[in-house]
Amino acid sequence: MDGMAVGESGSIRIGVIGGGQLARMMVPPAIHLGLGISVLAEAEGMSAARAADAVGDYRDPETVYAFAETVDVVTFDHEHVPQEILRELEARGVSVHPRPDALQYAQDKILMRQKLAALGVPVPDWAAVADEAALQSFIDEHGGRAVVKTARGGYDGKGVRVVSQADEVRDWFTALAEDGRGGHLLVEELVDFVRELSQLVARRPSGEMRSWPVVETIQRDGVCAEVLAPAPVADPATLDEAAGIGRTVAEGVGVTGVLAVEMFEARDGRVLVNELAMRPHNSGHFSIEGSVTSQFEQHLRAVADLPLGSTDMTAPAAVMVNVLGGPVEGPMPVRYARVLAEYPGAKIHSYDKLPRPGRKVGHVTVIGQDLAAVRAEAQAAAAAFD
C-alpha cells in the first residue's frame, strides 16, 4: 500500500453488497478518505441510494460477479450473500472481506456455537436439536424455559423465540423438514443477565486489530434501543474479558473488517457470547461522533487493508438511541425540525427509509461529559420524533 496513488483515478474502490443504512453510513468516511465506494442495492431508492451504482439481486451469481468487476474489494451491508457466490468470487481472484470462511460463522448460528466452543470462548449452554423431543429435553434440563433460534437468517429479534414447550417452534421444525436439507434448530439456556454488552473490534488482512471500548446495549422487543459508551460496568475485569473475547474471536475466526461480539454479563458473573455480526453494527453507531475513528471509517480501512485508526473516545460518554417507525405505516409527519431546534447538541441520523412500525429509520447520538445527562438528552431527542 506504500506509494498508493491518490487522485481522480487512483483511489481504492470498495464495493458494498446491500443498500441498507449500514452501506449508507459507509459513504461519508469514503468521501472523507478519498476512497471510492459503490453499492449494489437490492432495489431503487434504498437507504444507500446516493452510492447505489448498481441495483440487483445479491443471490444472483452473475449480478454479483459483474458488480465485483467494478470494484477493488467486496464487502457487505448484511450477511446473506450465499457462500457459493462468495467462494466463486474468491476463485475468480476478487478480494472479499470478510472472507467466506469467516462469514459462515455469522451466517449459521450453529456453526458459530461450534466454532466458539472450539476457540474456548464462553457461551451459554446450547445444543443443536433436530426434533421437538430433543428440544423439550433441553428445556426440561434448563429450568423449563430456553431460547430457540433458527440457524440461519435471523436478525433484529426475528428467528428468535423464548419457549417453554417445544411445540412453540413446531412451524420452524416443519420448515426445516420441508427444506429437504434437514438441519437443526439452535437452543440455548435463557441467561439471567445483568446487562448486555457489545465488543466491537476491527481487523485487517495483515492482522492489525483495534478494539473500541466495550459498550452496553439495551434491547426492546428484540431490537436494539439504546447504546451506552463506554459500558458503565463496575468491574474492570469484565472489560478486559470482553476485549479479550473480541480479539480471540476476530483472530480465531479470521474476521476482516468490523466484528461485533454481543455478550451477556450474567448475574452469576459469567461473560457469555450471544451473537456475532461481521459488519458495522447498531451497537457501533455511537462511534460516528463518539470515537476518533468511527466503525464505518474503520471498516473501510480494514477491508482495504489500510492502517487502522484510533478507537479512543472523543468524550467521556456517548449514548445512541434508535429511532423506529411508529405504530402507523407510511410517510408520517416527523417533528424533525422540532428535534433540531430543541436539541441543538444532538446529532440526528436519518436513514431515508419509509417508516414502518418497528423499522429502524434513524438514530440520535449525544456525546458529553456525564453518561446520565447525555443519555437523558439522547432519549428525549429520539422520543421527540414520535
DSSP per residue, 205-248:
TT--EEEPPPEEEEEETTEEEEEEES---S-HHHHHHHHHHHHH
The answer to the question of whether 141 is labelled as a binding residue is: no
Backbone angles phi, psi at 7, to 5 degrees: 155, 175
What is the DSSP pairing of strand 271-277 with strand 257-266? Answer: antiparallel
* Shortest CB 21 distance to a second copy, Å: 10
Of the pair 113, 210, the CB lying nearest a second copy is at: 210
Peptide bond preceding 98 in cis form (omega within 30 of 0): yes
The answer to the question of whether 241 is labelled as a binding residue is: no
Residue 295 interacts with a second copy (CB under 8 A): yes or no = no
Neighbours of 86 (CB within 10 A): 23
Residue 269 interacts with a second copy (CB under 8 A): yes or no = no
Of the pair 83, 336, the CB lying nearest a second copy is at: 336
**Cell representation of residue 98:** 470478510
Asked whether 361 and 325 are in contact (CB, 8 A), the reply is yes
- The number of residues that bind a second copy (CB under 8 A) is 60
The answer to the question of whether 188 is labelled as a binding residue is: yes
What residues between 37 and 96 interact with a second copy by CB under 8 A? 37, 45, 50-51
The answer to the question of whether 274 is labelled as a binding residue is: yes
Of the pair 131, 208, the CB lying nearest a second copy is at: 208
Residue 221 interacts with a second copy (CB under 8 A): yes or no = no
Provide the mask over 338-367, with x wherever binding to a second copy is found by CB under 8 A and - wherever it is not. Answer: x-xx--xx-xxxxxxxxx-----xx----x
Residue 180 interacts with a second copy (CB under 8 A): yes or no = no
The answer to the question of whether 6 is labelled as a binding residue is: no
b/e map 361-374, b = 16+ CB within 10 Å: bbbbbbbbeebeeb
Rule CB under 8 A: choose which of 288, 313, 324, 381 binds a second copy.
288
Residue 326 interacts with a second copy (CB under 8 A): yes or no = no
Residue 383 interacts with a second copy (CB under 8 A): yes or no = no
List of residues 6+ apart from 146 with CB closer than 8 A: 135, 138, 139, 162, 163, 164, 187, 188, 189, 190
* One-letter identity of residue 31: I
The answer to the question of whether 115 is labelled as a binding residue is: no
Of the pair 73, 169, the CB lying nearest a second copy is at: 73
What residues between 11 and 40 interact with a second copy by CB under 8 A? 11, 24-25, 27-28, 31-34, 37
**Cell representation of residue 45:** 431508492
Residue 327 interacts with a second copy (CB under 8 A): yes or no = no
DSSP 8-state class, residue 373 = H
**Cell representation of residue 234:** 463496575
* Shortest CB 385 distance to a second copy, Å: 9
The answer to the question of whether 324 is labelled as a binding residue is: no
DSSP-derived 3-state class of residue 335: coil
Neighbours of 138 (CB within 10 A): 18
Residues that bind a second copy (CB under 8 A): 1-11, 24-25, 27-28, 31-34, 37, 45, 50-51, 288-289, 292-293, 301, 306-310, 312, 314-315, 331-338, 340-341, 344-345, 347-355, 361-362, 367
Point out the annotated binding site. 109, 149, 188-191, 196, 274-275
**Which residues are annotated binding-site positions for ATP?**
109, 149, 188-191, 196, 274-275
